[in-house]
Amino acid sequence: LWLWFALAFHRLVVDSFVVSNTLAISPALLGYSNSAIAKSNRLQFKSSTRIELKMGHELNPQKPHTIRGVLFDIDGTLCHSDPVHFEVFRELLLEMGFNGGTPIDEDFFKRRINGRHNALICADLFPDWDAQKTEEWSVMKEAKFREKAVGRLEPMPGLEAFMTWIDQNNIKKAAVTNAPRLNAEFMLDVINRRSWFSELIIGDECERAKPDPLPYLEAMRRLGLRPGETLVLEDSPSGAAAGVASGAWTVGVMSTQ
């Protein structure tokens, strides 16, 4: 899926590998010319002079700039929260009689909900709702998420080691999310990383949320970064589209795909 997605948008730097739901970054190679070899669902690394995917598709012939900043999505990237979101949406929509009373499945969740901004979700699922009803329902839904998420969220495997490497190399960092601020701060507190990020960018607080690139561009502006020296980590097509459109090197983390 992510190979197709990368080729569709013509820009991807592969500096991580994912096995099942595990995020495992190769920190020693970030900021240097390198190449990735794709084998099954794994990505392994070796030294090289340019970034390429050894499947006959050269993704970018130019030498990459040194990475000076990393921008993280939160849901599904820092912690595997999507199962809780799916559970909440499934219960609430069932109670409302959505879809004729048939519970939504994971495919519906991935296509219509995952990674999207609340306003867009509600406009899609409930086109007759006004802004006030959308806001009230969204607030209720997010409160239910926080209630159900207590004790269930943990950092993605491999994340702590990557963050340690970021600190050791003085890499700038920000969290960029479509989650409401209360949710974002809740999840960062759960993994004990709220104060670690220099900036927290909330899509709702920008003029446009993801998939628009504006939240990532705002993070770069605040950190003093250029797109070519910035790495974006995302788990959803919506978020990855925002990263790609911002001009940053964008990695798809397959925790939710």
**Residue 247 is inside which H or E element, if any?**
none
Q: Report the C-alpha gap between 163 and 243 in whole angstroms.
A: 20
**Active-site residue (options: 73, 82, 212, 235):** 73
Query: What is the three-class DSSP state of 184?
Result: helix
Q: How far apart are CA 217 and CA 242, in angstroms?
A: 9
What residues contact residue 236 under an 8 Å CB cut-off, 6+ apart?
73, 75, 76, 114, 115, 116, 256, 257
> Which one-letter amino acid corresponds to residue 185?
E
Tokens of 23: 């995020």
Name which of 2, 47, 40, 75 is nearest 251 in CA terms.
Answer: 2
- 75 in catalytic set: yes
Q: Please say if 204 is a catalytic residue.
A: no
Q: What pairs with residue 196 in β-bridges? A: none
State the catalytic residue, choosing from 15, 75, 212, 235.
Answer: 75
Q: Mark out the alpha helices in the chain (DSSP H runs).
A: 2-9, 82-95, 106-112, 118-125, 131-149, 159-168, 181-190, 214-223, 237-246
Residues annotated as catalytic (active site), given as ranges: 73, 75
